[in-house]
Amino acid sequence: MTSINLLGHDAGRLIEYFASIGEKPFRAKQVERWIHRAGVADFAAMTDLAKTLREKLIAGATVLGPRVLSDATAADGTRKWLLNVGAGNGIEAVFIPETNRGTLCVSSQAGCALDCKFCSTGKQGFNRNLTTAEIIGQLWHANRALAASGYAQLGERAVTNVVMMGMGEPLLNYEAVLPALQLMLDDNAYGLSRRRVTVSTSGIVPLIDRLGEDCPVALAVSLHAPNDRLRDELMPINRKYPLRELLAACRRYLAFAPRNFITFEYVMLAGVNDSDQHADELIRLLADVPAKVNLIPFNPFPRAGFVRSPPDRIHRFNERLNAAELLTTTRKTRGDDIDAACGQLAGQVEDRTRRADRWARANA
């Protein structure tokens, strides 16, 4: 008989599971706390459960986290795990420690189908969506690993913030991402604030609206260009959901959002999107959207075809936006020495679409 992996079961699914084995609904909260709060995978160690229930769980269920292929820590303390999700697919999760918080960057897909031109992950092609267990398993594993290394005690919050900015487009794996978000927010699991959980999207308009209705968390939009012509070139998804539709969805989302602004991510590409004219276009574009702009120095990868904007150009761009009262920050690059920086997550994903080969030939 195949064991059921309870790691990816949110509260509702756990209640259904316990009902199916003749147990009361309150057992769901008990087991949820053991799995997610305490990081316990062994049912025999769940001491406040009746012995008969523990025996049922041992016989028919499991708590199976991701298998670690590699674990690397950068000079700045950033830690990256390469995790095996089977069939030659690897995903990456990155922990970024800061003075008063610890942020985990979580992947939602093995590879990515969107082919954003400046992103290493996009060059790997797309293999498959992750399951809820594989998504929440990154957070589960990070807390356990950080506790084991003395960073934090289990029960304390090693990870205080989660950003779904790793491999893949979260909203294109909505059915698995939603219960993972709900577990992150659940007080019996990770108990994170909606303000401390961020979903980053390239702009899947119908699903931005759905997220606002189902589970409004902080929203970040990968923008990267101030006009449709350039965004079409850098991000092909813009041809389906152009800026007018995307910004309208952002305004609608604000009615539900835990923050009173949308974060817009903007990677700085020398000579491509970093001129004063681009800055002025961006100011006009976001004039009627409560916004925070996060400028991201481009992180190079082999055959990228782009160069990072010089520091003085990034500074001038930042100052121009701030002068127009558009709140703007420049992201500090972290984890460069272990390829853990923004846009570099690629893992060891087998590119069954062969996009990487086609891209390399086209740019030879």
Active-site residues: which are they? 92, 342
Which positions ≥6 away from 362 have C-beta within 8 Å?
none
Strand, coil or helix: 67:
strand
H or E segment and range at residue 317: helix 311-323
- In degrees and rounded to multiples of 5, residue 85 shows phi and psi of -115, 20
320 burial type by CB count under 10 A (0-12 exposed, 13-18 middle, 19+ buried): middle
Render 156-201 in DSSP notation, one character per residue.
B-S--EEEE-SSS-GGGGHHHHHHHHHHHH-TTTT---GGGEEEEE
Return the exposure string of 205-215: e unless at least 16 CB atoms fall within 10 Å of the residue's CB, then b.
bebbeebbeeb
Contact predicate 127/346, CB 8 Å: no
Q: In this structure, what DSSP letter does residue 99 have? A: S
Which positions ≥6 away from 56 have C-beta within 8 Å?
21, 23
What is the C-alpha separation between 340 and 354, in angstroms, rounded? 24
Closest CA to 276 of 337, 226, 230, 228: 226
CA 244 to chain centre: 25
Closest CA to 340 of 332, 329, 330, 350: 332
Residue 222 one-letter amino acid: S
CA 337 to chain centre: 21
Strand, coil or helix: 148:
helix
Strand, coil or helix: 111:
strand
- In degrees and rounded to multiples of 5, residue 354 shows phi and psi of 60, 20
